[in-house]
A and B are shown apart, each in its own frame.
Chain A
Amino acid sequence: MSMNGSETGGRLLGTARAGTIESMDCLVTISGSNGGRRIEISGAGAARFKEAMELKINEVLDRLSAPDVKVSVQDNGALDIVLGARVEAAVARYLGGGRS
């Protein structure tokens, strides 16, 4: 299990990741949160598309009925559907099933 960049996978100490920092991708990290849902976005789209990205992340978390989590996104130009797919994969891994 690697936690350092392009190849990520699985759950580690209450944290799970999916995605990469390659072009048109994003690295999504999910960890526990005691204080409700929290979203942090950094990287290429952070300034211009923050609201749209938050909307997409919330939409995916709602669809998956995810528990309160902290979502950190390191973006490198990911389109909406890529962001959504990476959030879904990270949540599935966080919940322990690695399921789709």
Chain B
Amino acid sequence: MRRTMLYLPGNNPNMLMRGYLFRPDGLILDLEDSVTASEKDAARILVREVLANREFGECEVTVRINGVDTELWRDDISSVVPAGAAGIRVPKVDTPRTVLDIDEELSEVESRSGIPQGSTKIFCLLESALGVWNAYDIATSSKRVAAIIPGGEDLAADLRANRSADGVELEWVRRMMIVAARAAGVDALDTVYPRITDDDGLRREAEFTKKLGFDGKSVIHPGQIQIIHEVYTPTEREVESAKRIVAAAREAASRGRGAVTVDGRMVDLPVVRRAEFTLTRAGIAFGEPEETPDGERRG
């Protein structure tokens, strides 16, 4: 579940230590834009130590490395992957070539470090018109790709537009991102909402991107997490309906039947999958029957 992925500046111990306490679904330890050029070395060491020695609960912890147009990215990868980064967020991915270069480097580092091949995921930031245009090819260029994410400021500038309150300049990009991600079988994660004091604006944008089909949103301030979780978490009614659908499908399968009716509606496989996704998003396990407190199985 990647409803919220919180950026933490890589050279700020206070934020690195406390970020997970705000309970985002994921953390992005940042070595790129939030770290000045003179502090890149110190940030890389600090992030490596934090990864290797801290517990982050159930947070998925990734690292935004410096771009492949710098001399820093290989050292970034060789430091943070052995230390335990679950994934690498790669800035300025314009073509599949970038992903292939990263994939190759990750394979070498995993091999050297005794990490299972292919276990480190790649999260692609598409921050140019070219990157957006190539979204599907990028998303399918490596099995490691877990998500594609449209850029914000950089992308708007490349489109020769300005970021507006209603985000109209990124609207088509967001719709395309969903189509590309779904076609490729990866997550679509939205860019950050930069106006950190505008809660209403954040809620409107999150509601819009959820409606489009996004899996979640990048976050630059802990105060944004709760609002996005509220928007992206299914309502009680949606959860109850999904539970009935999944239970009915399981019952039908146990009787060797493929289709079933729930609440007067024919339920087939796509509906069951959507219901399972709703339960996942609500944080409810659906793979096994629920257990009662005394250990007896239910359902």
Contacts and interface: CB of A to CB of B under 8 A. Distances in A.
Interface of A: 1, 7, 9-10, 18-19, 22-25, 78-79, 81-82, 84-86, 88-89, 92-93, 98-100
Interface string B6-43: 00000011100100000000000000000010110110
Contact of A85 (B12, B38, B42, B75): B42
Contacts of A100: 41, 44-45, 48, 75, 79
Contact of B53 (A81, A92, A93): A81
Nearest to B47: A85
Given A7-B36, A84-B49, A22 B44 contact: no
Contact of B13 (A9, A24, A89): A24
B297 interface: no
Interface of B: 12-14, 17, 36, 38-39, 41-42, 44-46, 48-50, 53-54, 75, 79
Pick the 8 closest A-B CB pairs, nearest first: A9-B38, A89-B42, A24-B14, A85-B46, A85-B49, A82-B13, A81-B49, A24-B13
Given A25-B14, A89-B41, 11 more contacts: A7-B39, A9-B38, A9-B39, A22-B14, A24-B13, A25-B12, A79-B13, A81-B54, A85-B46, A88-B45, A100-B41
A7 B75 CA distance: 22
B38 A79 contact: no
Contacts of B54: 81
B222 to A, nearest CB: 16
B14 A7 contact: no
Contact of B42 (A19, A22, A23, A78): A19
B175 to A, nearest CB: 41
A99 B41 contact: yes
Nearest to A82: B13
Contacts of A23: 14
A98 B41 contact: yes
A83 to B, nearest CB: 10
Contacts of A78: 13
Nearest to A90: B42
A1 B37 CA distance: 11
A99 B74 CA distance: 13
